[in-house]
Amino acid sequence: MSDRYAVFGNPIAQSKSPDIHRLFAEQTGQNVNYQRQLVELDGFNQAVVEFFASQGRGLNITAPFKLEAFALAEHLTQRAETAGAVNTLWLNEHGQLCADNTDGVGLVDDIVRNQGWPLKDQRVLLLGAGGAVRGVLQPILQQNPAQVVVANRTAEKATALAASFAQFGPITGCGFADVDGRFDVIINGTSASLAGDLPPINTSVIHSTTACYDMMYGAEPTVFLQWAKTNGCTKLADGLGMLVGQAAESFSIWRGVKPEIKKVVKILRDQLA
C-alpha cells in the first residue's frame, strides 16, 4: 500500500505538486501516493488532524494556510521558526506535528546551483515583503551577500521585515521609490506577475551583468522578466526551479532521499510549453 501525502490549499487545482512528487517517486523508487486537497478557509486545523489520524504521512502547505500551519505545529525547525511560516508537515516518532519551511532552500539552490549565479559578496534586491520573501531571507543571508535590500510598496513593512532578520547579515528595507544604486541580483518576490503587473522599480537598479529572478513562473516569461530583458538583462530565470527545489527538500525530509531536480524541471518546462 502506498504512503499517503498531500498538498493543502485554497485554491489548489493549479498545484503542480502531485506531478512533481510522482516524478520524484518514480525516480527514487518510492511507493508514494500524493494528492491535492482543497481545504475550507475555516477548516485547516481539522483537516490536518483528520489527515494524520487516517495514516497520512506528510503534507505540503500552500496559500493561504502557511501561517496557520506554523501556529499548529508542535516542533519547528530553526528555519521555519525564523520564517514564521511553514510549507511542510510530518509526525515524528513521538507523534508530534513537526514543521519546516523549504522555500528558501529551493530558491537558493535554483539560483546558485542550477542557474550558476553566486550570491556571496553580491548586492541583492528583493521585491516585496510578504510571506514569500520572509521565507527566503535567512537562506539568502546565509550565502554571505554584500548587502540585501528589501523593497516594498509600504516602506514600513520592508523596514520592519529587514530589522527582524538583521541578526543574520547585512539587510535594510525601504519603499520602492527609495531603492538606490545598482544590484547584482534582483529577485521579484511579489505576486504582481500573476496579474500581469510590475513592481514600480526604476531601471537604474540594473547594470550589464545583473541577474533577474521571478518567483512566479509560466509558459511565457513573466512581465518582470520581460522588463528585465528589455532593459539589458541577459541572466533571467523564473520560479519553476524554486518550486521543484522546495518540493525536493520536502520529499527528502519525508523519505530520506533527495531526488534529482533538473530532470523534473525540464519535464515540467516541456509541459508548460
Q: Which residues are annotated as a binding site?
A: 15-17, 62, 87, 103, 128-132, 152-157, 215, 217, 239, 246
Rounded to whole angstroms, how far apart are CA atoms 203 and 145?
22
d(CA 151, CA 200): 10
Residue from 66, 120, 258, 262 carrying the catalytic annotation: 66
Whole-number Cα distances in Å, 80 to 44, 94, 231, 236, 251 = 19, 20, 36, 28, 16
What is the rounded distance in angstroms from the CA atom of residue 233 to the CA atom of residue 250?
32
d(CA 215, CA 100): 19
Residues contributing to the annotated binding site for shikimate:
15-17, 62, 87, 103, 217, 246
Q: Is the Cβ–Cβ distance between 77 and 101 less than 8 Å?
A: yes
* Cα–Cα dist 122/36, whole Å: 38
Active-site residue flag, 66: yes
Distances (CA, A) of 57 to 4, 70, 251, 253: 6, 18, 11, 11
What does the alpha-carbon distance between residue 187 and residue 125 come to, in Å, rounded to a whole number?
6
What positions carry a catalytic annotation? 66
